[in-house]
Amino acid sequence: MAHDDKGAVAPTITFDDFLKVDIRVGRVIEAEPFPEARKPALKLKIDFGEEIGIKKTSAQITRHYTPETLIGRRVLAVVNFPPRQIGPVMSEVLTLGVPDADGEVVLLAPDQDVPLGGRLY
């Protein structure tokens, strides 16, 4: 997950640009260690509901999360990036998070129980 540690504001975009990014809510249904990754990471399978289905990804989220604490957790992810090979894993979505005070990823999630596949707007 690439991010700007300085928190610089990105260039201005239009609302139409924003609409091109398809961010959906999913539920983690599988999580396991990813020892082949260059940086500590976990492999995830996330269920986005009937329309999108189950997608695979990996995430550098080992500081705050274990496989056991992720199962059943709702997360937000970009679902319309092209798949990307990360070691032996074909990452199909980008799970979203923000940095804590030490720069470690904290996952984004809705604060209420919402249907899987719901699109951010």
pLDDT value, residue 87? 87
* 45-63 average pLDDT score: 97
Residue 46 in this model has a pLDDT that exceeds 80: yes
Average pLDDT over every residue of 40-56: 97
Q: Is the pLDDT of residue 2 over 80?
A: no
Give all domains of the chain, ordered by start, each with its CATH number.
19-107 (2.40.50.140)
Tell me: pLDDT of 6 over 80. Answer: no
CA distance 77 to 21: 10
H-helix segments, the chain:
15-20, 67-70
pLDDT value at 1 more than 70: no
- The model's pTM: 0.91
